[in-house]
Structure 1
Amino acid sequence: MNNPPIIRCGYWCECWTQSPATGKAPVLLASFDAANAAQAVRWIRVALRTIASALDPGEFAGAWGWLTGGYVADIEALARTEPCAVAIHHGRTHVRWTARPVLFLGLADRRTGSLPACAGKFTPLTNAPALSKTDDHR
């Protein structure tokens, strides 16, 4: 039987939002484990492209610039093991996608039909990771 490696390199991606509806603290909306830098950035691009047309003209221009070529710098940054972040504002709502290189410990594969009992006890972070303004790329 061919066992998968216990530790594998990958990328952890998250989408955080903060708005009057969520209160003062950002809330984790979604997360994704990517196998490579291009897949991590693709996850962000799909989400951003989905909402880009609803943005005001200034935000749309920045988002569109990132979607149509600016994302390449983030793929390169991730490949150099540097984290990346993309942020947008719409009215009083702030959305930030992050991706960072990680090592995954292969205890359980979330794509299998039966996860261990402890999988249901996982509680995600309640606060967004601290990223400086220089981490935002658009």
Structure 2
Amino acid sequence: MTNPLLTPGFWCECYTSSITRPARRIAATRVDTPDQAIYWIRTGLEAVIPALGGDTHEKAQPWLTEGHITSAQALTEGTPIDVILLRAGITIAYTIRPTPFLTLTNHQPE
């Protein structure tokens, strides 16, 4: 039995931390599909990789080209995923987890 007030979706978060600073959430969003969640991570990575420099692009490239397919499949099956970049003492972590969202109103856009 499904609850009509619960809508399936995905909660996406991005955290950053370093040796001197604890983890801090820098972005979060709700999306409806695994493809939207993967797109959110991919655009975030493509924005941050040039700023990190060094070999960060080479480390992220396998996920950007093929690894995201496995991640999308995991999300489809209800398994949370993490994508973590490490560079010069800085950690950037993207997390996505399947989450039921509570529908509070039945508002339809005009």
Smaller-chain TM-score range? 0.7 to 0.9
Structure 2 letter corresponding to 1:56: G
Shift of 1:108: 6.1
Instruction: Give the alignment's TM-score, normalised by structure 2.
Output: 0.84
**CA distance change for structure 1 residues 106 and 94 in 2, over 3 Å: closer, same or farther?**
same
Structure 1 unaligned runs (5+)? 113-138
1:62-107: per-residue Cα shift (whole Å, max 9, x none)?
Answer: 2011111210000000000000000001211100000010000012
Pick 1 or 2: higher relative contact order, CA cutoff 8 A, min separation 6: 2
Moved over 3 A (4+): none
2:47 is aligned, of 32, 50, 58, to 50
Q: In structure 2, what is the Cα distance between the partners aligned to 1:79 and 1:94?
A: 26
- Structure 2: segments with no counterpart, 5+ residues: none
What is the identity percentage for the equivalent residue pairs of Structure 1 and Structure 2? 30
TM-score of the aligned structures, taking structure 1 as reference length: 0.68
**3-state SS of the aligned residue for 1:48?**
helix
> Equivalent residue for 1:7?
6
How far apart are residue 50 of structure 1 and its match?
1.1
Counterpart of 2:25 (choices 20, 23, 28) is 28
The aligned counterpart of 1:41 is 38
Richer in strand (by share): 2
1:77-92 map, 5 Å: 77-92=74-89
Structure 1 residues 108 and 50: CA distance shift in structure 2, 3 A: farther
How many equivalent pairs are there?
Answer: 103
